[in-house]
Copies of this chain bind each other. A is one copy, B any other.
Amino acid sequence: MDAGEAVETIQREMTVFARRARASAGRLHPELSLVSYTLLGHLEDSGGCRATDLAAHYALDKSTVSRQVTALERSGLIERRQDRTDHRVQVLHLTDAGRSILAQVTQSRRAAFRERLAEWPEPDLERFAEYLVRYNAWGGSGTPDAG
């Protein structure tokens, strides 16, 4: 395989992955869509942020984020805290319930991935992980991915 072929393969396989991920999203965890999951995950990592930050980070329209946030709040997984100094701003935080659900889903996703990767030698796992990080780190938001 030369570099050209490798790029072709990466493109094709990333596309297949994206395609399947979308198709199967939500089957494992009907209680939490892929979108909601990543949003909650970002809230946990960031320790709370604004809807606008989520929209920028995931290249989503602010209206989409607004609706997702509304749904998550209705489900009791996140809460909004009005900013004292700027009344336009709502800082979003995970509730205990949100943290709990997020942990559960992460756990079951982790189990599925473990099973899938069980046969892999450890050095391969580590390299694969490193490649994915490198790939995703490129250029921040607004990049092509498999779109």
Contacts and interface: CB of A to CB of B under 8 A. Distances in A.
Interface of A: 1-3, 5-29, 34-35, 37-38, 41, 58-60, 109-110, 112-114, 116-117, 120, 122, 124-136, 138-139, 141-147
A133 B17 CA distance: 10
27 contacts: A1-B126, A6-B128, A9-B132, A9-B133, A12-B41, A14-B17, A14-B132, A16-B136, A17-B132, A17-B136, A17-B146, A18-B22, A18-B34, A20-B136, A21-B21, A21-B22, A21-B145, A23-B59, A24-B142, A24-B143, A25-B146, A25-B147, A34-B147, A112-B144, A116-B139, A124-B131, A128-B128
Contact of A11 (B1, B11, B113, B147): B113
The number of times this chain is found in the oligomer is: 2
B132 A116 contact: no
B38 A7 contact: no
Given A6-B126, A109-B11, A138-B116, A24 B144 contact: yes
Contacts of A12: 41
